A and B are shown apart, each in its own frame.
Chain A
Amino acid sequence: MLLVENKCEHLYLMSFYIQRMPAPIRLRELIRTIRTARTQAEEREMIQKECAAIRSSFREEDNTYRCRNVAKLLYMHMLGYPAHFGQLECLKLIASQKFTDKRIGYLGAMLLLDERQDVHLLMTNCIKNDLNHSTQYVQGLALCTLGCMGSSEMCRDLAGEVEKLLKTSNSYLRKKAALCAVHVIRKVPELMEMFLPATKNLLNEKNHGVLHTSVVLLTEMCERSPDMLAHFRKLVPQLVRILKNLIMSGYSPEHDVSGISDPFLQVRILRLLRILGRNDDDSSEAMNDILAQVATNTETSKNVGNAILYETVLTIMDIKSESGLRVLAINILGRFLLNNDKNIRYVALTSLLKTVQTDHNAVQRHRSTIVDCLKDLDVSIKRRAMELSFALVNGNNIRGMMKELLYFLDSCEPEFKADCASGIFLAAEKYAPSKRWHIDTIMRVLTTAGSYVRDDAVPNLIQLITNSVEMHAYTVQRLYKAILGDYSQQPLVQVAAWCIGEYGDLLVSGQCEEEEPIQVTEDEVLDILESVLISNMSTSVTRGYALTAIMKLSTRFTCTVNRIKKVVSIYGSSIDVELQQRAVEYNALFKKYDHMRSALLERMPVMEKVTTNGPTEIVQTNGETDPTPLETKPPPSGPQPTSQANDLLDLLGGNDITPVIPTAPTSKPASAGGELLDLLGDINLTGIPSITAYSKNGLKIEFTFERSNTNPSVTVITIQASNSTELDMTDFVFQAAVPKTFQLQLLSPSSSIVPAFNTGTITQVIKVLNPQKQQLRMRIKLTYNHKGSAMQDLAEVNNFPPQSWQ
C-alpha cells in the first residue's frame, strides 16, 4: 500500500514537473546567449524562441517571474523586435506591491506604452496611488513615468498631485516633480497657470538638482507664454546671484566637473537669462556684469569651460547688450577659432555666421583666421568657413579674399565646388575692382571647377562678357587658349564657343591689348570648334553652341566660308534633332537668304543688366520671328516650325525693318522681357484711343493701348481679332514685326479660332519697347483657314496714336 501510494505520489510529482516549464532564464543569460549569435538570422531565431517562452509564461499568469520576463522583453524591444504583448503585463507589475515589480513595470510602461495605446489609461489610477505612496522611491517612479509618457488625459487628471509634490520639501521628489510639470505643460498648456504659485520659491533651494529642474521648468513656461515671460523677468537678479555663487564658490566635490562647479546648471541659467533678456533693456542691463564676469573668468583649458563660454556668447549676442560686451563676445569667438580643438572651432564658426549680419565690423577683424579655416581638414568646418568668408567679402578685401577662395575652390571636395563657384561669381559681380579682374576671375573659376559651375551661370557670364566691350579681344583669346588644351568642362566650353562665335574676328586679327596677342588662323579656330562638335564629351547643348558659333563665323571670317558651309550641311542629317534643326536652318540661310546672312549674324548689342535673382521665366515668343539663328540656347517653347521663320523673313522684303528679337538669348530673361514682365503690376489705363489696325474680308483686328507707369518706353498693345463672316476662322496666327530700334514681345493668344458672326474674339498681348521714342510702325501678317482654304495677308499698321509711343 505504502509502496503504491509512494509510487502514485512519485508519478504525480513527476508529471507535475514535466508539465511545468523550467524557470525562465535571467536577463543576463539572455543577453549572453544573444551575443553568441553570429548572424542576424540566428539572433532572430533565438529571440523568437525566447518570446514564445515568455508568451506562455504570461499566459500562465506566473507572478514570480513576470518581472524577469518583462525585463527580457524590454531588452529585445530595444534591439528592435516587437514587444506589444508585454503591455498588459507592465500594468500588472505596476499594480504589484513589490518595489522590484513596480520598477520594471514603470520602465516597461515608459518604453512600450504611450498615448497611442488605449491600454495606457488604465495606469492612471495606479500612478495616482503611487504618487501618494509612503516611499519616496515609489513616488519618484510614478513621477518619472508620468513625466515621460503621460497623455493629455492623464496629465489633466494628475496635475494636481504633481503640483502638490512641487511644493514638498523633499528635494528628491521636488526635482522630479518639476520635470514632470514640464511634461504636463507641454501636453496641456492651459494648466500652466496652475503651477505658477509653486514656482515662487523654487529658486530658493540649495539642492542643485532642484535648482536645475526648476530652471528648466521656468524656461519652458517663459518660452510658451509671453505673460509668464514678463512675470518671470523679476527673477533675473536672483538668477544672477545664483550664477555668481556658482562661479565664486570654492571647490564643491559633488558638483565639480574638471574644476568648474556644476557647469550644466550654469549653462541652463545662462540660457534662461538669454530668454529673459531678449528684447528687454532693463533685464539685459541687470545681467551685463555677470556676463562679462563669466566671459572673462572662465577657465578655457578644458571643454567644460568652453561650453560655458559658448553659452555666454550666445546669450550676449541675443540680448540687448552694450557694444563693449558684444565686442568681447566676438573676440571670444575669435579666440575659439585659434583653438586646437576642432569642436570649438566648429562652434565658433557657426556662431560667427549667425552674428556676421549684425556685427559685421567686429567679425571682419577675425577674417584672416576664418580664411585659414578654409584649409581645415574637417568638412563641416570648411563649409562653415566658406559661408562665412562669402559673408565677409567687401569692396576692400575682394582681391585678397578672392585669391584665397580661388585656392579653396581648387582644392576642396566636389560637394563644395558648385556652391563655391556660385558664391565667387556673386561676390565678383558685386565687388569687382576692374573688368579685367572680373573676367580673369571668371576664367579661373571656369578652368578650375568648370564642370561644377551651375547651368544658370553660363548666360550670366555671357552677358557680363558682352558688356565689357573693351575686353572682348582679351576674353576671347583667353577662352580660346583655355579650351585648346581641354574641352571637357561643359560650361567653360559653352562660354568659349559663344565668345569665339561672336568675337572670332578679333581673335584671328591678333588685336589683343591686355596681353600678348596669339597667332591664330581661321582654320585653327574652326578646328577647335569642330572638335567640340565631334567630341563624345560634349553635351547636346554644348554642340548647339558650337554649331551656332561656327555659323556666326561665316560672316566674320573671310577665307573659310566654304568650310563652314560644308560643316553646316553635314549636320543637316545629324541624329540629334536640335542640331539637325539648326543645321537645316543655317543651310537655308546660305542658300536662299544669303543676302540677309550678315545682318542676321551681326554682333550682339550690349544687353541690359538684369539682377541675378531676376525672374527666370522665359519670354514666350509665340509665332513671332524665330530667333534661333541668333540664339545660343534652344528656345524653351515648342518647336517653332522653320516655315514660319522663313515666312516671316519674307516680311522683311529688303527694307529697314528687321525682325526684332528680344535681343538676349531666351535663356537669359530677355533684358527687355525682364523689364516688361516686371510691369505686370504697373499697367496704367490712360485712355489712349484704340485703333482698328486691320479690317478686310470680314476679319477685323483692333488694338487697345496701355502705358506703363514705371517705364515710359513700354507700350502694351492688346489685339482683339473678330470675324463677321458666317464661318469660323481656324488656325489663326498673328505675327508682327517692328523697326530696328524697337523691341517686340508677343504673348500667347487666347485661342486659335475666331468664331463667326462676331460671337467671340481672340485676344493677344503685344509688348513694345521703344526706348528712342520713335514713331511706332508695325507690319503684321495673318494666316488662317476659312471656308476650307488657307488665307494669308500682310499689312502695315501706321495709324498708331501719338500717345501710344510718345
Chain B
Amino acid sequence: MIKFFLMVNKQGQTRLSKYYEHVEINKRTLLETEVIKSCLSRSNEQCSFIEYKDFKLIYRQYAALFIVVGVNDTENEMAIYEFIHNFVEVLDDYFSRVVNHV
C-alpha cells in the first residue's frame, strides 16, 4: 500500500505531497527532509529502493526534482518504479511541458 507520495526538489522544498495515512503536520516536514536527504546521498550506481524505518522508499529523479513514493512491505517495488514514470508521463500529457519552475 502506498503510504505517501512526494515531489521534492534538490533543495528540500516540497512541490507536491499527498499522505494516505495520517501523519502529524510537523512530522511531515521532518519526514520530507529526511527522505530527500537519503535520496540525495545516493549515487548513480545505487538502486532506487531505500529501506527507511518501516517503509520502503522508491525514488526517481527527473532533473532537479525527486519523486519519492513510500510504500509498505507488500508492494512490488519495480511496479511502483514504473508507476512513477507513468505519472510523470500523464502530467506531461495533461499539462504539456512540465517543468520545475513556474
Collect the chain B residues with CB atoms within 8 Å of residue A343's CB. 47-49, 77-78, 81
Q: B49 and A346: CB pair below 8 A?
A: yes
Q: Which residue of B lies closest to A309 (CB)?
A: B78
Q: Taking the complex as formed, is B63 at the interface, i.e. its CB lies under 8 A from any CB of chain A?
A: no
Chain B interface category by residue count: 20 to 34
* Closest chain A CB from B36 CB (angstroms): 13
In the complex, are the beta carbons of A377 and B76 less than 8 A apart? no
Among candidates A114, A263, A306, A380, residue contacting B47 with C-beta atoms closer than 8 Å: A380
Contact residues, B42-92 vs A (CB, 8 A): 43, 45-51, 76-79, 81-83, 86
A292 within 8 Å of B (CB atoms)? no
Q: Is B97 an interface residue (CB 8 A)?
A: no
Interface string of A345-374 (1 = CB under 8 A from B): 111000000000000000000000000000
A257-B86, A343-B78 known; A78-B14 Cβ under 8 A: yes
Q: Is B28 an interface residue (CB 8 A)?
A: yes
**A264 lies within 8 A of chain B by Cβ:** yes
A378 within 8 A of partner (CB): yes
**B46 in contact with A264 (CB, 8 Å):** no
A338: Cβ under 8 A from any B Cβ: no
Given A35-B102, A80-B28, A307 and B76 touching (CB < 8 A)? Answer: yes
Q: Is the CB of B83 within 8 A of A264?
A: yes
Looking at the complex, which one of B43, B45, B51, B82 makes contact with A307 (CB distance below 8 Å)?
A: B82
Query: In the docked arrangement, what's the CA distance between A377 and B47, Å?
Result: 10
The reply to whether A78 and B16 form a contact with Cβ atoms under 8 Å apart is yes
Residues of B within 8 A of A28 (CB): 102
Q: Within the complex, which residue of A32, A80, A306, A347 is in contact with B25, where a contact is CB–CB below 8 Å?
A: A80
CA distance A314 to B49 in the complex (A): 18
Query: What is the bound-complex CA distance between A165 and B13, given in angstroms?
Result: 40
Whether B82 contacts A381 by the Cβ 8 Å rule is no
Q: Is A344 an interface residue (CB 8 A)?
A: yes
- Complex partner residue of A304 from B14, B49, B82, B102, CB under 8 angstroms: B82
Distance of B88 from chain A, by nearest CB (Å): 13
- Once the chains bind, are B29 and A80 in contact (CB under 8 Å)? yes
By secondary structure, the B interface counts as: mixed
Within 8 A of B (CB), among A366-406: 377-381
Closest to A111 in B: B18
* B102: nearest chain-A partner, CB-CB: A32
What separation, in Å, do the CA atoms of A32 and B101 have in the docked complex? 9
Check B78–A78 contact: CB distance below 8 A.
no
Residue-by-residue, is B11-40 near A (CB-CB < 8 Å gives 1, otherwise 0)?
Answer: 000101100001001101100000000000
Contact of B14 among A79, A116, A271, A307 (CB under 8 A): A79
Q: Does A299 contact B (CB under 8 A)?
A: no
Task: Give Cα distance in the complex from A308 to B82, angstroms.
Answer: 11
**Separation of A342 and B78 alpha carbons in the complex (Å):** 11
| Interface residue count on the A side (C-beta < 8 Å) | 35
**Chain A facing B: main interface SS:** helix
A423-438 vs B, Cβ < 8 Å mask (1 yes, 0 no): 0000000000000000
Cross-chain contact A307 with B86 (CB below 8 angstroms)? no
Q: With the chains together, A345 CA to B77 CA distance in Å?
A: 12
Residues of the A chain whose Cβ atoms lie less than 8 Å from the Cβ of B50: 380
A263:B79 contact, CB within 8 angstroms: yes
Taking the nearest CB of chain B, how far is it from the CB of A747, in angstroms? 43
Among the listed A306, A311, A342, which residue makes an inter-chain contact with B46, where contact means beta carbons less than 8 Å apart? Answer: A342
Q: Does A712 contact B (CB under 8 A)?
A: no
A380-B78 CB under 8 A given contacts A80-B25, A114-B22, A257-B86 = no
**Nearest neighbor of B50 in chain A, beta-carbon distance:** A380
Q: Please state if A78 and B17 are interface contacts (CB–CB under 8 Å).
A: yes
> Which A residues are CB-close (under 8 A) to B81?
303, 307, 343
Query: Does B14 lie within 8 Å of A264, measured CB to CB?
Result: no
Q: Are A378 and B47 in contact (CB under 8 A)?
A: yes
8 Å CB contacts to B: which residues of A114-159? 114, 116
- Please tell me if the beta carbons of B78 and A381 are within 8 angstroms of each other in the complex: no
Contact at A311–B76, with CB atoms within 8 Å? Answer: yes
B26 near A267: Cβ-Cβ < 8 Å: no
Most-contacted residue by chain A among B50, B76, B78 (CB, 10 A): B78
Q: Once the chains bind, are B49 and A82 in contact (CB under 8 Å)? A: no
A794 within 8 A of B: no
Determine the residue in chain B with the shortest Cβ distance to A260: B82
What 1/0 flags go to A253-266 for Cβ under 8 Å of B?
Answer: 00001000001100
Interchain nearest-CB distance for A771 vs B (Å): 50
What sequence of 0s and 1s flags, for each residue 262-284 of chain A, a beta carbon within 8 Å of any chain B beta carbon? 01100100010000000000000
A377, B78: Cβ atoms under 8 Å? Answer: no
Chosen A-B contacts, 26 in total, with CB atoms closer than 8 Å, are A28-B102, A31-B102, A35-B102, A80-B25, A80-B26, A80-B28, A80-B29, A116-B22, A257-B82, A264-B82, A267-B76, A271-B76, A307-B76, A307-B82, A314-B76, A342-B47, A343-B48, A343-B77, A344-B78, A346-B47, A346-B49, A347-B78, A378-B45, A378-B47, A380-B50, A380-B51
B interface residues, Cβ below 8 angstroms from A = 14, 16-17, 22, 25-26, 28-29, 43, 45-51, 76-79, 81-83, 86, 102
With A80-B26, A347-B77, A380-B51 known, 8 other A-B pairs at CB within 8 A are A78-B16, A82-B25, A257-B86, A303-B81, A342-B46, A378-B45, A378-B47, A380-B47
Q: Which 7 A-B pairs have the closest CB atoms?
A: A307-B78, A342-B47, A80-B29, A377-B45, A378-B46, A346-B47, A307-B79
